[in-house]
Amino acid sequence: MMNKTTKKLRAQDSGNSEKETQTPKPSIRNPKSILVTGGAGFIGSEFVRQAVKKNSRVVVIDKLTYAGDLERIKGATEKVTFYKADITNKEFIEHIFEKEKPDVVVHFAAESHVDRSIIDAAPFIKTNIEGTQVLLDAAKRLWLSKEGFGMKDLGFRVKDLGVEDSGDMDKSNQKPIFINIATDEVYGELGVNGQFYETTPLNPNSPYSVSKTSADMLGRAYFRTFGLPVITLRPSNNYGYWQYPEKLIPVVILKALNNEKIPVYGKGENIREWLYVADCVEAILSVIEKGKPGEIYNIGSGFEKKNIDVVKSILRILNKSEDLITFVKDRPGHDFRYSLNTDKINNEIGWCAKTDFETGMEMTVKWYLDNMDWVNKKLDYLRRYWEVVYSSI
């Protein structure tokens, strides 16, 4: 399945559409210090790896739960300052902000697996909502106070706060920004047709997506109420290197390699838009440079696939039989389809996804084949988890 975003991507790649090819706007933001929450996670670590290549000073905060792993950023550790911290720890987070004085915050840290939120929603409420509030308050304290970057330099609604700029603050980092990473799941679900736009009303359906919607709305509230320079990003389903093997694609790869039954919810008809993780991070970096505070940007690829077709594509790459597929009881409240319209980020930021699904999947499968030592370290924990989630197999 291919939506019009994919058609645009391919038209640009082939050079056949001068009208649709956008000239990127000049950079307006060149961060000196980036604080990354969840920087040892799947998408966060890809951001860290790309950011250090741009010679940015990177500070990583990660609690190192089951899903966090410093192995993901071991090649960049000499250029990274790392704090093992829970983002709900207000005092420690404020200490880190005051010490490191980031001019950009990229907030990835989250409980992110829908199945786990159905088993126990409490960690999602605490981390995704309370943790986001702690981070927003720390950024507000740093950036919107006399001791921060200076009120006039932010240029938003901070004049309403009644805080004066002392005139003697450091003006070297004049455009701080808080990148709040949300998800396409905040929109709810679609039928066979249609797309989600940035203006689509939010209608989340799982404990996970409700917690992320709350975090999304908190960030936008802090922009509106306090003038905190927040940009909200809503990416589609990511896949690629280093993804923890609880999500669909790595689960299928791992089980197929071991000739184990592959669980597929319902009949596998649910549709997701698949975005290669390196493309997602390139979009985030582009928004850091060119994005406008207060705005929302969808990040999608245009490559929509039924879950069953994703599974079959992996089995073909691995030369495994489709007989391994086992249909299991559907997930409660399972959203049918997600599809993002990305005209805004295409036109205003000048970004389009580069990696088609087939190429991205080939690279992803190869990476897991080459890194089974890392995957195998997770197996004992995973098997206990799978017994709970896929108990009907």
How many angstroms separate the CA atoms of 364 and 350, rounded? Answer: 26
Catalytic residue among 62, 185, 246, 356: 185
In this structure, the chain runs to a length of: 393
100 three-class SS:
helix
Dihedral pair phi/psi, residue 82, rounded to 5°:
-110, 135
**Catalytic residue list contains 184:** yes
The amino acid present at 233, given as its one-letter code, is: L
How many angstroms separate the CA atoms of 292 and 207, rounded? Answer: 30
335 and 31 Cβ atoms separated by less than 8 Å: no
Spell out the alpha helix ranges (H) of the chain.
4-14, 42-53, 90-100, 114-119, 122-124, 132-143, 151-154, 207-226, 248-257, 277-290, 307-318, 343-344, 357-370, 372-376, 379-389
Catalytic residue among 86, 103, 189, 208: 208
**Catalytic residue list contains 385:** no
Return the number of other C-beta atoms located less than 10 Å from residue 50's C-beta: 16
Catalytic residue among 184, 189, 282, 295: 184
231 and 223 Cβ atoms separated by less than 8 Å: no
Active site residues: 184-185, 208
